[in-house]
Every structure is written in C-alpha cells, then in structure tokens.
Amino acid sequence: MRGQVISKVAMSAILAAMVAPVGRAQAQVAGDWKGTLSAGGAELHLNLHITAGKDGALTATLDSVDQGAYGIPVSAITLKDTKLNLTVDAVHGTYEGTVNKDATEIDGTWTQMQPLELNFKRATAAEVAPPPAAKPAPPTDIDGTWAGTLDTGSTGLRVLFKIVNTQEGLTAKMQSPDQSPVWMPVTAVKRNGSSLTIEIKGIGAVFEGKIADGEASIDGTFTQMGNAMPLALERVKE
C-alpha cells in the first residue's frame, strides 16, 4: 500500500513538472504589447493584449490605433515553445511570431492578403490604453441595440450594433455573436436625416442604411473587403 502511495505521489510530481513550464510560458507572454505594421508607405500602430486564464488558456484582443478600432477579437491564439500563432477572423489575418528568451519581444509576420513583418515589444497598460470614453448625452431615436443577419452564402452570420449618443455625437460598437462574444468599437457613426453610415475600419467594413419611418428597422448594405451584402437591422430589447 505504501509503495502504491509513493508511486502515485511520484507520478503527480512528474506530471506537475511537465505542466509547469507550459504554464510559465503562457504567463510570461501574457500582458500588453505594441508594434508597427508598415504597408505601402503607411504605418499602422497595433496593440496586442494577451490574457492567461487560470487553466493556462490564452485569449487576446488587437487594437488598430490609427484606424480607431479597439478590442478586435483574436479568434485563436496558441503558444508552443516560443512560437506564438494568432488568428483574427474579423480581419482575415494571421500572425506567426517568436517570443524571445526574456518575453520582452515578439518577432514575426502578419499575413493579410500578403505577408508583412510585424514585431511587438512589451508595453505598459498606460501606453496601450484606449482613448477615454465620450461623455453621454440624451439618447436619440435610434439609440439602442439593432440586430440583423448577413447571408454569407454558406450560412447566416448574426450582427449586432449598439448605438449610443454622446456629447461628441453618435457612437457604436459591434458584435458578431456567431464569431465572438467581444464587442468591437466602431470607427465612426454618421447620420444625415434617414441615412446612417457606420464605419468599422478595423475589419475593413462599412454599413450604409436607411432608417425606416418609426425607427423600427434600418435596411441597408454591409460591405467588407469589397464584398457587399444586404443587411436589414431591427431594434431588439437589451
């Protein structure tokens, strides 16, 4: 009996030793990162936020600062040894990088239509903090949550917009619940009478619609990467 107990303890110690390095690696890569993507003479500043759960699982979001897109959900993230891989379905992009020994730099390649060099360095929370939220203002007739479904050909993709009026004008955030629970701030909301335009530069998309009489629906077109799809939005309860 004593021998069995010792054997079980020994086996537990071996398993713990095997798991510990993985857990440490996940914890080391967690945190805030910033990098610059150079494309066609322009520079895009990107922030990467990585979180390690209690079980060691990693989650992440991406900010495209110059496009005003914060909290873009990272669909998948894996770290194997020093190799970090990201998949960002919202913008059809992937990233493959190598974390250095001190976990202070990640050198790699961002691929979105074409491969481009993208290196990240550690950043403080203050350096990558999003701009302060606009102060609220009395709600307009279209404030609230709107829902619709995009016909992508093979399946339907639900889209939600939450519109809020502020002292600086209308703002909104977007969610695609079939892809991620994360709400993504939009770049701009413009209204001219019954015409409404919502820009989401972080995913290269724009919604252009007409507000129906009674403000019960907004019928329009959702265009992403040159692909235009009809999108009818209806007001839903919170």
Got the DSSP string for 181-219?
Answer: S--EE-SEEEEETTEEEEEEGGGTEEEEEEEPTTSSEEE
Q: How far is CA 90 from the centre of its chain?
A: 7
Choose among 35, 233, 238, 73: nearest CA to 149: 233
Whether 14 shows a pLDDT value over 80: the answer reads no
> 152 Cβ partners below 8 Å, 6+ apart?
229
- Cα(215)–Cα(58) distance, integer angstroms: 41
Residue range(s) occupied by CATH 2.40.128.120 in the chain:
2-123, 144-236
CATH topology of domain 2-123: Lipocalin (2.40.128)
pLDDT band at 106 (very low <50, low <70, confident <90, very high): very high
Does residue 8 register a pLDDT over 60?
no
Distance CA 84, CA 120 (A): 12
192 pLDDT band, cuts 50/70/90, is very high
The fold of 144-236 is Lipocalin (2.40.128)
pLDDT of residue 23: 62
For the whole prediction, is pTM greater than 0.75? no
Asked whether 30 and 50 are in contact (CB, 8 A), the reply is: yes
The whole-number pLDDT of residue 181 equals: 74
Residues 92, 101 contacting (CB under 8 angstroms):
no
User: Tens digits of per-residue pLDDT, 227-238?
Assistant: 999 999 999 986
The amino acid occupying position 195 is: S
